[in-house]
Amino acid sequence: MEDCYSDSHFENPEETESLFCPRRTEYERMQKRFITLPRKLADLYAEVISAHNSDLNVLCAIGLRGLIEGVCADRKIQGRNLDERVEAMKVLLPENIVKNLHGFRFMGNRAAHELEAPVSGELQVAIDLIEDILNYFYDLDYKARLFGGLNAAQKGNP
């Protein structure tokens, strides 16, 4: 948040009220709502979006890597390290998607170990991808079942 302005009170000039307004940028993202996302992952996702919107790109990159780790742990995807766990996702996702998920490891490692911040455009695409992954693993089945139930109810087949 940035200071928008301060207002000194005339009766007591030493008493100052600072008002704040949220920063707005063209790259600011709205947090998506995932209905069935486990609480720990939902909290981390919220932190990633907050870090991104606050231009905390190193923390955002580390958080994105953490989300991939969290999805693997929640889905009980086995491996000695994140590289192996991402590779093991090939049974759940197309190979070309898995190949590109390794980018989260590299980006997160550069951020954590070299304090190298990714550029905003790279983070934008990475957030798009993680949102698609979260939707696929957590909400797509829920939405499909909801749609199926609504469709059956319209046809008179509850």
134 lies in a domain? yes
Phi-psi region of 2 (alpha: psi -120 to 50; beta: other; left: phi over 0): beta
149 lies in a domain? no
Three-class DSSP category at 8: strand
20 lies in a domain? no
64 lies in a domain? yes
8 lies in a domain? no
22 lies in a domain? no
Span 114-136, average pLDDT: 93
- Residue 77 main-chain phi, psi, to 5 deg: -85, 120
- Residue 108 main-chain phi, psi, to 5 deg: -65, -40
Number of domains observed in the structure of the chain: 1
68 lies in a domain? yes
19 lies in a domain? no
Q: Is 3 a residue whose pLDDT tops 60?
A: no
Q: What is the domain extent for residue 97?
A: 32-138
Q: What is the pLDDT of residues 56-96, one digit of tens each?
A: 999 999 999 999 999 999 999 999 999 999 999 999 999 99
- Distance CA(10)–CA(117), nearest Å, equals 45
Residue 13: per-residue pLDDT: 57
Residue 5: per-residue pLDDT: 47
- Distance CA(87)–CA(29), nearest Å, equals 29
